[in-house]
Amino acid sequence: MDKQFKPFEQPIYVTRPILPPLEQVLRKIEDIWESKWLTNLGEQHSELEKQLKKYLKVNCISLFNNGTTALIVAIRALGLTGEVITTPFTFPATVNALEWNGVKPVFCDITPHNLNIDPNRIEGLITPKTTGILAVHTFGNPSDVEKIQYIADKYRLKVIYDSAHAFGTELNNKGIGNFGDASMFSFHATKLFHTAEGGALTFSDSAVMKKVNLMKNFGIKNENEILITGINGKMNEIQAGLGLVLLDYIEDERNKRSALKKIYTEKFSDISGIDVLCKNDDVTKESLQYFVVKINKEKFGKSRDYIYNELKSYNIFTRKYFCPLCSNYPHYKDLRSASISNLSVANQIENEVLCLPFYGELNKTEIDKISDIIISFKT
Ligand code: T4K
């Protein structure tokens, strides 16, 4: 450990949830108590749907108890079967959601600049069994929605976007939830906007939303009619109430994160071997969900894993999202598409990416110190 830096007294994590003033949350809970309505699509739920439609600039939204259930339901509602092309560089939930639907994941390699599925490699993976593409807007950076839609139209495939990280992302001023047949947002505590646990689906077609709304409520239309096989995917009133209180704090958190991003970016700007993951030019609003760097061991002199491990001795806990790749999990590694030769970029990238502490509570001095410690490792 370099003696010029003392470890932080309190642990610094990759993220911390935004916590609005407790009095405001308690006031909201009092309202809910008064109403004696705790779940099953109550007032808070419909108000949050209304507010999020506006915030995300979408026409159709359905709230869920978490993002994973939302994704499982979207895959089923869109009738995906057989094989679906997806990315190995993601959280287990993405690929697991296919498995839960009895659909075989087919892994496609990623592009090194935005870490999203490489659209130029999708067509080569399409077979007569392919029914869809499940792409991820990794770390909030949009996938190539135009090329993906072109391929989907050509082969009559459905497109689902895992937008777990992309809350607020806009492409040429259009909300990211407007692309493909459905997009899933996660409102987990670690997300910029959260409801402790929670999620949402957005759709281009209101008929799909109607089906999903039935599906997330056991398939119940009314007391006498149960129309399809459903599940319990409902967001409850306490989750929705928390979300409504939190919405007022989003812009403030975004402004803070923007300032922190600028500090990190300047610090690393001329450090050879540290590349900051940048947004594309057509992204008019970024999600500011994570601050991500790629470490080139040859140029920096130390590996990503060295940095990750060494930072712990300073009480700094970064994350190696998404290492290991989903394609290297024991239950997926034997798939043909999981071979290292099919996924050479992803297998390299998984050893380079590091998510640094990034949340509004951190101040300039702390970001300066974290950056300086990392830079001090350089040889
Ligand atoms: N698709 C993608 C691409 C995703 O990234 C995710 C979730 C999903 C789908 C599924 O959506 P959900 O079903 O979760 O809605 C965390 C989150 O649990 C997970 O939601 C998220 N992605 C993933 C990227 O990150 P872990 O295993 O890293 O969580 P954990 O508990 O280690 O938390 C990370 C850090 O956050 C901790 O070191 C400290 C801090 N933390 C965490 C929690 C839960 C807090 O300060 N307070 C807290 O309450 O997965």
Site to probe by mutation for ligand 1, drawn from 64, 115, 185, 190 as the one with most ligand atoms within 8 Å of Cβ, is 190
- Strands annotated E in 312-366: 316-317, 353-356
Query: In the prediction, which pLDDT does 93 show?
Result: 98
Please check whether residue 231 is in contact with residue 69, taking contact to mean a CB–CB distance below 8 angstroms: yes
Q: Which of 283, 223, 165, 294 is nearest to 40 (CA)?
A: 223
Ligand 1: centre distance to CA 192 (Å): 11
Query: In the prediction, which pLDDT does 4 show?
Result: 87
Residue 280 clears pLDDT 90, i.e. is over it? no
Atom of ligand 1 nearest to the CA of 66: 15
> Residue 194 and residue 239: Cα distance in Å, rounded?
9
Does residue 189 have its Cβ closer than 6 Å to ligand 1?
Answer: yes
Q: What is the mean pLDDT of residues 235-259?
A: 98
Pairing status of strand 291-295 against strand 274-276: antiparallel
- Residue nearest to ligand 1 atom 24, measured at CA: 91
> Residue 24 and residue 35: Cα distance in Å, rounded?
17
> Residue 50 and residue 43: Cα distance in Å, rounded?
11
What is the pTM assigned to this prediction? Answer: 0.97
Query: How long, in residues, is the chain?
Result: 379
> Residue 127 and residue 155: Cα distance in Å, rounded?
10
- Residue nearest to ligand 1 atom 25, measured at CA: 190
Does residue 14 have its Cβ closer than 6 Å to ligand 1?
Answer: yes
Residue 144 clears pLDDT 90, i.e. is over it? yes
Q: What is the mean pLDDT of residues 347-372?
A: 98
Atom of ligand 1 nearest to the CA of 196: 49
- Please give the single-letter amino acid code of residue 55: Y
- Residue nearest to ligand 1 atom 42, measured at CA: 190
Query: pLDDT, tens digit, for every residue of 40-82?
Result: 999 999 999 999 999 999 999 999 999 999 999 999 999 999 9
Task: Report CA dihedral (266, 268, 272, 276) to the nearest 10 degrees.
Answer: -100
Residue 3 clears pLDDT 90, i.e. is over it? no
Query: In the prediction, which pLDDT does 2 show?
Result: 67
Q: By percentage, how much of the chain surpasses pLDDT 70?
A: 99
Q: What is the mean pLDDT of residues 149-167?
A: 98
Atom of ligand 1 nearest to the CA of 136: 3
Does residue 68 have its Cβ closer than 6 Å to ligand 1?
Answer: yes
Atom of ligand 1 nearest to the CA of 16: 46
In terms of DSSP H, where are the helices of the chain? 22-35, 43-56, 67-77, 92-99, 145-155, 206-215, 237-247, 250-268, 297-300, 304-312, 344-349, 364-376
Confidence of residue 204 (pLDDT cuts 50, 70, 90): confident
Query: In the prediction, which pLDDT does 46 show?
Result: 97
- Residue nearest to ligand 1 atom 39, measured at CA: 13
Residue 287 clears pLDDT 70, i.e. is over it? yes
> Residue 88 and residue 109: Cα distance in Å, rounded?
7
Task: Report CA dihedral (284, 287, 292, 294) to the nearest 10 degrees.
Answer: -40
Does residue 88 have its Cβ closer than 6 Å to ligand 1?
Answer: no
- Residue nearest to ligand 1 atom 27, measured at CA: 91
DSSP string, 235-278: PPHHHHHHHHHHHTTHHHHHHHHHHHHHHHHHHHTT-TTEEEPP
Phi-psi region of 339 (alpha: psi -120 to 50; beta: other; left: phi over 0): beta
Count CA atoms within 13 Å of residue 65 on its CB side: 13
Q: By percentage, how much of the chain surpasses pLDDT 90?
A: 98
Mean pLDDT of the chain: 97
Q: What is the mean pLDDT of residues 160-189?
A: 98
Query: In the prediction, which pLDDT does 79 show?
Result: 97
> Residue 65 and residue 44: Cα distance in Å, rounded?
14
Q: What is the mean pLDDT of residues 84-98?
A: 98
Site to probe by mutation for ligand 1, drawn from 72, 91, 162 as the one with most ligand atoms within 8 Å of Cβ, is 91
Does residue 162 have its Cβ closer than 6 Å to ligand 1?
Answer: yes
Please check whether residue 369 is in contact with residue 267, taking contact to mean a CB–CB distance below 8 angstroms: no
